[in-house]
Structure 1
Amino acid sequence: MNIIATAQATSTAPTSAFFAKWADMATWSEWNNDTEWVRLDGPFVQGATGTLKPKGGPKVGFVVERLNDNEFVDVSKLIGARLIFDHQIAATDGVTTVSVTVSIEGPLRWLWTKIMGGDLAKSVRPDLDALVAAAEGVLA
């Protein structure tokens, strides 16, 4: 597995606000600059599937691999690889900490990292900051 990027942020918004933003995939393009659109095939639950259209790229299928009180992991299926977005969340004393790790695994991970790794690495921090703003009710 190759880790492409990680980012962490804190917020005064409750964890439920982040899960609401993640669940409302039709609005992801409002806070995720490299996403044109996202469609979820059903409710936001573990095992749910959908399609994502990155800006400048082809549509890609994904699955909500894990979803619980502390994390949301979505995996995009690429030819010969899996692109993993691992969102961890915790709240302590009124402060919510959110972290995102983007990684890739599979026999062609080296190729996909070369194709899109740099752009993904650049977008993780601004996308997380925009998510925090959206969860706090102030779109950047």
Structure 2
Amino acid sequence: MMTLGTAQISSAAAPAAFFAHWADMATWPEWNADTEWARLDGPFTQGSTGALKPKGGPRTKFVIDVLTENEFTDVSLLLGAKLTFRHLVETDEAGTTVVRVTASLAGPLAWMWNMILGKGIGATLQRDLDALKAAAEAKTEAVA
């Protein structure tokens, strides 16, 4: 497995605000600048499948591999490789939400996909997580 990039933010928004945005896949393009569209074929639960269309790329199927109270991991199924986005959400001792995202590739053709996608994903991971933070905090402020 090779890591394409990692990103981290701290936020005043509750963990549930982040999970709400991940579950509402129709809104992913609002905070993920590389996504043209995303849809889930069923409920936001572990094992559910969906598809997404990266800007400039082909439609890609994915599965929700892990979904717990502090982790959301989705795996895109590429030819000869799997692209994994692992999202970990914790609350620190001060009550601040900390979100960490790691993107990785695995499989016999991971090297090829790294050449195609690796630099782009690594370069935009922090930007997209910052945009998600802004969306989660704006939703939190609107509710308050």
Question: TM class, shorter-chain normalised?
Answer: over 0.9
Aligned identity (percent) is 57
Alpha-carbon distance between aligned partners in 2 of 1:35 and 1:28, rounded to the nearest angstrom: 7
Alpha-carbon distance between aligned partners in 2 of 1:87 and 1:118, rounded to the nearest angstrom: 19
Q: Deviations over 1:54-100 (max 9, x none)?
A: 00000000000000011000000000000000000001332000000
- The alignment of Structure 1 onto Structure 2 pairs a total of residues equal to 138
User: Secondary structure of 2:91's match?
Assistant: strand
- 1:106 offset after TM fit, Å? 0.1
- Stretches of 4+ moved more than 6 A in 1? none
- Whichever structure has more helix as a proportion of its residues is 2
Match for residue 130 of structure 1?
Answer: 131
Alpha-carbon distance between aligned partners in 2 of 1:120 and 1:27, rounded to the nearest angstrom: 19
User: Secondary structure of 1:123's match?
Assistant: helix
Match for residue 112 of structure 2?
Answer: 111
After superposition, residues 1-140 of structure 1 pair within 5 angstroms as 1-92=1-92, 93-137=94-138
- TM normalised by structure 2 equals 0.94
- TM normalised by structure 1 equals 0.97
Alpha-carbon RMSD across the aligned residues, in angstroms, is 0.8
